[in-house]
């Protein structure tokens, strides 16, 4: 008689399998941790400023046929006037003090077009010192001043010609990296890095949780499968929690007592058990899938059998 109940032996019931499974989990976890650290270090620099062009607007957009329409600034006629907004953000892990500017010299940003004037300078948070930006020909100068963590500085400049790119001409900040990049592109890259880090952490958590839950779960809660009813033909069938060395003896199975068997294990290493080398895992109480009994001491359909072929294997083994 076969009745469906909770199955017995997990895949790690053999010590070798458990050892290799643990080793593989450790190696995978270390690899994921190293990968996560590399991702984090590639995107998280302790001191870093991000410089981006966030907008540029041409002031004279009238058709060329309208020759009478002109733009003048301080008495000078402008042929291609632009207002460009540039953003400088401290994306590093700490504030940048004013003393970090070597010899009090400012950072130079080359716009490659004549800068007529710095029109406005805004910054957040307002509690931070007001930054100082000056112009020198085609170059902007970020003057020495404290730049707090996560501070954003936005300055608008009037130029004769469109600002296509910004080049860093001088960095007096030493260990502070100044990145010239598109803010949107940089933000997307950082979001991908954070997503990868989160995915790596999730994989480690899931793998560890699955391994621990399998390792600590009671045998009867591991997987579902059938059990087979077997009757003892010998009086006083012994049971052991560890069949390989016959340790931790359990309750004796009486003559003709019927018990539910979850699966069978093949281990002929015990010379005293000369009954084919098979062991049954006993699902019935009080053994509860935690004790084994020699399969050859049951009727197994008929006495000549060393085990009942209806009973599944607990894990892979040679017949």
pLDDT of residue 59: 85
3-state helix, strand, coil in the chain (%, to 5): 25, 35, 40
Residues belonging to the chain: 319
pLDDT at 135 over 80: yes
| pLDDT for residue 42 is more than 80 | no
Between these two residues, 303 and 269, which has the higher pLDDT value? 269
Would you call the peptide bond into 230 cis, given omega within 30 degrees of 0 as the criterion? no
**DSSP state, residue 251:** P
Measure the CA–CA gap between 238 and 248, rounded to whole angstroms. 11
Between 195 and 291, the higher pLDDT residue: 291
86 or 275: which leads in pLDDT: 86
Give the distance from CA 13 to its chain's centroid.
30
**CATH architecture of residue range(s) 47-174:** Sandwich (2.60)
190 half-sphere exposure, CB direction, 13 A CA radius: 13
What local confidence, expressed as pLDDT, does residue 221 receive? Answer: 42
- Whether 283 has a pLDDT exceeding 90, the answer reads yes
Q: What is the per-residue pLDDT across 225-247, written as a single tens digit (0 to 9) for each?
A: 688 999 998 778 999 998 888 88
Q: Could you tell me the two tokens for 201?
A: 């952490």
Q: Hey, which residues does 240 pair with through a beta bridge?
A: 249, 292
Q: What is the pLDDT of residue 271?
A: 61
The pLDDT, as a whole number, for residue 213 is: 58
pLDDT of residue 83: 94
Q: Which residues of 247-268 are buried (b: 16+ CB within 10 A; e: fewer)?
A: eeebeebeeeeebbbbbbbbee
Q: What is the pLDDT of residues 98-132, one digit of tens each?
A: 998 998 999 999 999 999 999 999 999 999 999 99
31 φ, ψ (degrees, to nearest 5): -65, -45
Short-list 150, 159, 62, CA closest to 116: 159
Asked if pLDDT for residue 162 goes beyond 60, the answer is yes
pLDDT confidence bin for 45, thresholds 50/70/90: low
pLDDT at 5 over 50: no
Helix (H) or strand (E) holding 266: strand 258-266
pLDDT of residue 3: 45
Whether residue 103 contacts residue 159, with contact meaning beta carbons closer than 8 Å, is answered with no
How do residues 50-89 score in pLDDT, each as one tens digit?
999 999 899 877 666 666 678 888 888 888 899 999 999 9
Q: Which residue has the higher pLDDT, 270 or 288?
A: 288
Task: Quote the CA–CA distance of 91 and 150 in Å, as a whole number.
Answer: 6
C-alpha distances (whole Å) from 300 to each of 66, 108, 115, 304 are: 106, 89, 97, 8
Closest by CA to 242, choosing from 222, 269, 221, 216, is 269
DSSP state letter for 211: H
**Residue labelled with tokens 């069938």:** 237
From 101-110, 137-146, 181-190, the region with the lowest mean pLDDT: 181-190
Percentage of the residues of the chain whose pLDDT score is greater than 90: 40
Average pLDDT over the chain reads 80
Contact indicator for 182, 52 with CB cutoff of 8 Å:
yes
Closest CA to 153 of 190, 183, 173: 183
């Amino acid at each position: 008689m076969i009745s469906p109940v909770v199955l017995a032996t997990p895949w790690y019931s053999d010590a070798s399998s458990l050892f290799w499974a643990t080793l593989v989990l450790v190696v995978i976890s270390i690899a994921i941790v190293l990968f996560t650290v590399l991702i984090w270090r590639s995107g998280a620099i302790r001191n870093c400023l991000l410089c981006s062009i966030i907008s540029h607007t041409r002031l004279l957009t009238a058709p060329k046929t309208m020759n009478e329409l002109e733009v003048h600034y301080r008495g000078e006629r402008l042929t291609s006037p632009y207002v460009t907004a540039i953003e400088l953000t401290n994306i590093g892990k700490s504030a940048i003090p004013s003393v970090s500017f070597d010899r009090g010299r400012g950072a130079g940003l080359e716009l490659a077009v004549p800068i007529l004037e710095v029109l406005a300078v805004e910054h957040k948070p307002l509690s931070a010192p007001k930054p100082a930006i000056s112009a020198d020909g085609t170059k902007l100068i970020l003057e020495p001043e404290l730049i707090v963590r996560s501070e954003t500085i936005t300055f608008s400049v009037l130029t004769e010609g469109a600002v296509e790119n910004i080049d860093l001409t001088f960095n007096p900040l030493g260990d502070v990296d100044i990145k010239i990049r598109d803010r949107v592109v940089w933000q997307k890259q950082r979001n991908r890095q954070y997503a990868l880090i989160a995915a790596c952490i999730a994989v480690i958590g899931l793998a560890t949780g699955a391994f621990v839950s399998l390792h600590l779960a009671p045998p009867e809660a591991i997987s579902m499968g059938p059990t087979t009813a077997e009757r003892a033909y010998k009086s006083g069938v012994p049971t052991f929690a560890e069949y390989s060395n016959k340790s931790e003896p359990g309750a004796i199975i009486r003559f003709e007592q019927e018990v539910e068997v979850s699966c069978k294990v093949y281990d002929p290493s015990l010379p005293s058990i000369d009954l084919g080398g098979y062991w049954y895992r006993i699902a019935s109480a009080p053994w509860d899938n935690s004790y084994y009994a020699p399969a050859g001491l049951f009727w197994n359909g008929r006495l000549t059998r060393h085990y009942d072929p209806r009973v599944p294997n607990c894990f892979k083994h040679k017949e």
